[in-house]
A and B are shown apart, each in its own frame.
Chain A
Amino acid sequence: MSSMNEPLLEMKNISKDFFGNSVLSDINLTLREGEVIGLVGENGAGKSTLMRILFGSTMIHETGGYGGQVILNGKEVHFSSPFDAIAAGIGMVHQEFSLIPGFTTTENILLNREPVKKNLVSDIFGDRLNTLNRAEMDKRASEAIRLMGVDIDKKMVISNMPVGHKQFTEIARELSKEQLRLLILDEPTAVLTEREAEALLASIRGMAERGIAIIFITHRLQEILSVCNRVVVMRDGVVVKDTPADQTDVQQITKWMVGREVAGKAETSVRSHEGAKDILSIEKLWVDMPGETVRNVNLTVKEGEILGIGGLAGQGKLGIPNGIMGLYQAGGRVVFEGKEIPLNAPRKCLDASFAFVSEDRRGVGLLLDESLEWNIAFPAMQIQNKYLKKYLGGLVKWRDEKAIREVTEKYIGELAIRCTSSKQKARELSGGNQQKVCLAKAFALNPRLLFVSEPTRGIDVGAKALVLEALRRFNRESGVTIVMVSSELEELRQSCDRIAIVSGGRIAGILPANASVEDLGELMLSQVK
């Protein structure tokens, strides 16, 4: 449409840091009426943060605001909450559904914006006692569904709906807002079937024709090419490319997304374990971990190696260690050194000398309200009867506080954990030090096989290097096989020998860690669901 007019949205020099940790710098983005841009980038590239700034998320304010200007219709705006953004004509469809399960499509589309009729009681007691105008609600919902161009049952209750329809309900809700000028779609096709995704793309084109500008975030690059006017690629908090969609292709975009110029190449330490025996083999594994579903994974781990598992968020890489260790319901066959390990039984895995450092430090990894001593010694004490004094011929197993303190202080020294004493509560440590405590906990088990999930998530650069170094040393010196799951490809390439890429809940391929970033990136996007 009228692309030569003044832009609808301009974001100028946007920057954002979380407590000194810069996540966005110098972002510039313009968007015109009826224009569709595809926003792509790896997880952690800054897409979500940028969208949060645009949508006035309170989280942005609580962490100190942002730098730069957001200009809407030529005027600078400062949204203090999503409600301001909505009032200004911005709509957002989140990845997580924001729907009331027991309400119908219509009720959800018009949630808290229901047309009402005045009555006698409401005149006295206020507007909230107005009766809902069901006829008008139906009319508006139908209109929104018509605008969307995808037909969904407006009387169906959400909890009975297929996921795709839930997604369309969310989109229809945004469309029912009359002021809507700009719509942000955050991975809307992730939950859709192919046919539904097609319908959505058609609907996006339709909306654009009516003058609504759309920011479309997705990992399915083909969709971007088919529907967007422009592609904006983000990486490490900056826009690396902003180009018309018809002048590029999937290979090129992939390259932009993942292709960092890394100074020190990591492959120096890559070793081949071709001849080593298979220490662990996984067959037909499925794991029901919400948001990280694993489907039919087959994978073999060689003794002594560090195997990396990479992939985009939500593709199921986290489900693999969590499922094997029995934290989420799983099925399939896991064989360790020739013995089958039963699933859904954490104790059996630990007895088989596995150890696991969870990605959910605070939820799974730590006893936040207990001392470091407890945190580090607990699993080893329970699984291997370490740090216990036995009385009455082993009938009474008394906690050996001295041994516990000694092992804790040993690891405090080895991993340079910064704390006031071994009695300090885990809650009071910083993220990086908490992560080191989690590692110490696993090391104290002297495992044969160690699963590490997102070892550097949410910790600062210095701590990152220390943690990775500790893992590498543990592998080299104690001969422990390590399976390391991480969203950061670069980290995997630095530390691992082989990298398996998970996409759509399945293993998309396994490459040596010195494979090119482009090849790994391609695998990441290959089966995205």
Chain B
Amino acid sequence: MQKEKSWFGKLVENYGLPRMIITLFLLLLLVLCPFVGADLPTQISNIIARFSWNGILVLAMVPMVHSGCGLNFGLPLGIISGLLGATLSIEFGFTGPLSFLAAIAIATPFALIFGTGYGWLLNRIKGGEMMIATYVGFSSVSLMCMMWLILPYHSPNMVWGLSGKGLRTTITLEGYYNQVLANFLKIKIGNFVIPTGSLLFFALLALCIWAFLHTKTGTAMTAVGSNPVFARAAGINVDRIRLLSVIMSTWLAAIGILVYEQGFGFIQLYMAPFYMALPAVSAILIGGATVNKATILNVIIGTILFQGIVTMTPTVMNNIIHTDMSEVIRIIASNGMILYALTRKTEGSK
């Protein structure tokens, strides 16, 4: 069976062909950058900034992948917890950096409750997690669409000006927690900007997850994902571990969206969370994760590659062919990546 492979073949095998193509594409874009008149430091700053917005949302995939619940297509559920935290924090009158802390504090109980319900459901339908997660996400987003209209919000910064009720689709965070992390220890050299605070915050959470995976419970979580029957035979309460992983993922998603908002500067409500699961899923897959294995490194590489493509293609493509094809490329590349992961035989027993 063992055939001699060229070094290139081995590299492709270890790194994965699609990931290889995406990396080379990103490198090509970076190389082309100066030739099309785009400013390289600005571009790289953009990538770093977008990495800092999205990193935690991608990190939210890790616990569920580890416990064998598959890719968390139900990310919107966690995002909704975050949105509730954000809007309530503003409604309660918190401003400035404090509003960010308040948002996290308020989002947390929601994330725990939603996560528990979601995890309980996923434990009942083992084997069909991904499809149901998708639709749990969709259902909750559309339910919340109604809620944003009905819930008695009053803050004039958030409700529609005319009717005085119902939240707006976009709410600006100016005066609240816009850039609150990014401005912390910010480094600026010419056009090159590093949002140190955001990166540190991501690093902190990533470190927590890394550390968690080295504890007794974290070890059990990995074992559950690797072989649930083995874990059960070793006395692990598989359902409880899975539940824990879902709660963790949901909470991370809630925090993730708050960090995203502080970078982006706006809260987006209604159908916006709908479209946030797929980019995060494909980012972690591009980073080299599979349906049942993911590491922090996968998160970092994946987010950089994915956000790199998303930010670079419009600029470079626009300059070369004067057409913005970035959206199309993004759709094809990200969904192609998910398809690739789904069609690969999952190794290990299921």
Residues of chain A whose beta carbon lies under 8 Å from any beta carbon of chain B: 325-327, 346-347, 349-351, 356, 358, 362-370, 374, 378-379, 381-383, 385, 388, 396-399
Q: Take A374-B223, A396-B215, A399-B215 as given contacts and tell me if A368 and B232 are in contact as well, using a CB distance cutoff of 8 Å.
A: no
What is the bound-complex CA distance between A370 and B227, given in angstroms?
Answer: 10
Q: Are A327 and B233 touching (Cβ within 8 A)?
A: yes
What is the bound-complex CA distance between A363 and B234, given in angstroms?
Answer: 13
Q: Are A350 and B234 touching (Cβ within 8 A)?
A: yes
Q: Are A382 and B234 touching (Cβ within 8 A)?
A: yes
Partner of A382, one of B220, B293, B347, B348: B220
Q: Are A399 and B214 touching (Cβ within 8 A)?
A: yes
Q: Are B226 and A382 touching (Cβ within 8 A)?
A: no
20 additional A-B pairs beyond A347-B237, A382-B219, beta carbons within 8 Å, are A327-B232, A349-B235, A351-B235, A358-B233, A363-B227, A364-B229, A365-B230, A367-B223, A367-B227, A369-B227, A370-B223, A374-B219, A378-B234, A379-B234, A381-B219, A382-B216, A383-B235, A388-B216, A397-B217, A399-B216
Q: Are A366 and B227 touching (Cβ within 8 A)?
A: yes
What is the bound-complex CA distance between A351 and B229, given in angstroms?
Answer: 18
- Chain B contributes a number of interface residues (CB within 8 A of A) equal to 22
Most buried by A among B219, B222, B226, B348: B219
Q: Are B223 and A378 touching (Cβ within 8 A)?
A: yes
What is the bound-complex CA distance between A399 and B219, given in angstroms?
Answer: 8
Q: Are B214 and A398 touching (Cβ within 8 A)?
A: yes
Q: Are B216 and A346 touching (Cβ within 8 A)?
A: no
Query: Can you name the residue of chain B whose Cβ is closest to the Cβ of A401?
Result: B214
Query: Can you name the residue of chain A whose Cβ is closest to the Cβ of B350?
Result: A363
Most buried by A among B226, B235, B348, B349: B235
Query: Can you name the residue of chain B whose Cβ is closest to the Cβ of A404?
Result: B219
Q: Are B235 and A366 touching (Cβ within 8 A)?
A: no
The answer to whether the Cβ of B171 comes within 8 Å of any Cβ in the partner chain is no
The answer to whether the Cβ of B236 comes within 8 Å of any Cβ in the partner chain is yes
Kindly list chain A residues whose C-beta atoms are within 8 Å of the C-beta of B347.
368-369
Query: 4 smallest A-B Cβ distances: which pairs?
Result: A347-B235, A379-B234, A397-B216, A350-B235
Kindly list chain A residues whose C-beta atoms are within 8 Å of the C-beta of B214.
398-399
What is the bound-complex CA distance between A467 and B237, given in angstroms?
Answer: 30
What is the bound-complex CA distance between A399 and B347, given in angstroms?
Answer: 25
Kindly list chain A residues whose C-beta atoms are within 8 Å of the C-beta of B293.
369
What is the bound-complex CA distance between A525 and B347, given in angstroms?
Answer: 40
Most buried by B among A381, A382, A398: A382
Q: How many whole Å from A151's CB to the nearest CB in chain B?
A: 40
Q: How many whole Å from B239's CB to the nearest CB in chain A?
A: 12
A-B residue pairs in contact (CB < 8 Å), sample of 11: A326-B232, A346-B232, A367-B223, A367-B227, A369-B227, A370-B222, A379-B235, A382-B216, A396-B215, A397-B215, A398-B214
Query: Can you name the residue of chain B whose Cβ is closest to the Cβ of A395?
Result: B215
Kindly list chain B residues whose C-beta atoms are within 8 Å of the C-beta of A356.
233
Q: How many whole Å from B130's CB to the nearest CB in chain A?
A: 20
A-B interface pairs (CB < 8 A), number: 76
What is the bound-complex CA distance between A363 and B232, given in angstroms?
Answer: 12
Residues of chain B whose beta carbon lies under 8 Å from any beta carbon of chain A: 214-217, 219-220, 222-223, 226-227, 229-230, 232-237, 293, 347-349
Q: Are B236 and A370 touching (Cβ within 8 A)?
A: no
Query: Can you name the residue of chain B whose Cβ is closest to the Cβ of A441?
Result: B234
Kindly list chain A residues whose C-beta atoms are within 8 Å of the C-beta of B217.
397
What is the bound-complex CA distance between A364 and B219, given in angstroms?
Answer: 17
What is the bound-complex CA distance between A366 and B234, given in angstroms?
Answer: 10
Q: How many whole Å from B242's CB to the nearest CB in chain A?
A: 15
Q: Are A368 and B216 touching (Cβ within 8 A)?
A: no
Kindly list chain A residues whose C-beta atoms are within 8 Å of the C-beta of B215.
396-399
Q: Are B233 and A325 touching (Cβ within 8 A)?
A: yes
Q: Are A369 and B348 touching (Cβ within 8 A)?
A: yes
What is the bound-complex CA distance between A346 and B219, given in angstroms?
Answer: 18
Q: Take A397-B215, A397-B216, A399-B216 as given contacts and tell me if A367 and B230 are in contact as well, using a CB distance cutoff of 8 Å.
A: yes
Q: How many whole Å from A160's CB to the nearest CB in chain B?
A: 26
Query: Can you name the residue of chain B whose Cβ is closest to the Cβ of A445?
Result: B234
Q: Are B349 and A346 touching (Cβ within 8 A)?
A: no
What is the bound-complex CA distance between A108 and B14, given in angstroms?
Answer: 47
Q: How many whole Å from B233's CB to the nearest CB in chain A?
A: 5
Kindly list chain A residues whose C-beta atoms are within 8 Å of the C-beta of B226.
367-370
Kindly list chain B residues whose C-beta atoms are within 8 Å of the C-beta of A369.
226-227, 293, 347-348
Q: How many whole Å from A253's CB to the nearest CB in chain B?
A: 39
Kindly list chain B residues whose C-beta atoms are within 8 Å of the C-beta of A382.
216, 219-220, 234-236
What is the bound-complex CA distance between A356 and B216, given in angstroms?
Answer: 21
Partner of B230, one of A349, A364, A383: A364
What is the bound-complex CA distance between A385 and B237, given in angstroms?
Answer: 16
Q: Are B216 and A366 touching (Cβ within 8 A)?
A: no
Kindly list chain B residues whose C-beta atoms are within 8 Å of the C-beta of A365.
230, 233
Kindly list chain A residues whose C-beta atoms are within 8 Å of the C-beta of B223.
367, 370, 374, 378
What is the bound-complex CA distance between A187 and B27, given in angstroms?
Answer: 64
Q: Are B348 and A368 touching (Cβ within 8 A)?
A: yes
Most buried by B among A356, A374, A378, A398: A378
Kindly list chain B residues whose C-beta atoms are within 8 Å of the C-beta of A325.
233
Most buried by A among B216, B234, B293: B234
What is the bound-complex CA distance between A351 and B236, given in angstroms?
Answer: 12
What is the bound-complex CA distance between A347 and B234, given in angstroms?
Answer: 7
What is the bound-complex CA distance between A364 and B348, given in angstroms?
Answer: 11
Query: Can you name the residue of chain A whose Cβ is closest to the Cβ of B220?
Result: A382
What is the bound-complex CA distance between A356 and B233, given in angstroms?
Answer: 8
Q: How many whole Å from B210's CB to the nearest CB in chain A?
A: 12
Q: Take A370-B223, A397-B216, A399-B214 as given contacts and tell me if A364 and B235 are in contact as well, using a CB distance cutoff of 8 Å.
A: no
What is the bound-complex CA distance between A382 and B238, given in angstroms?
Answer: 13
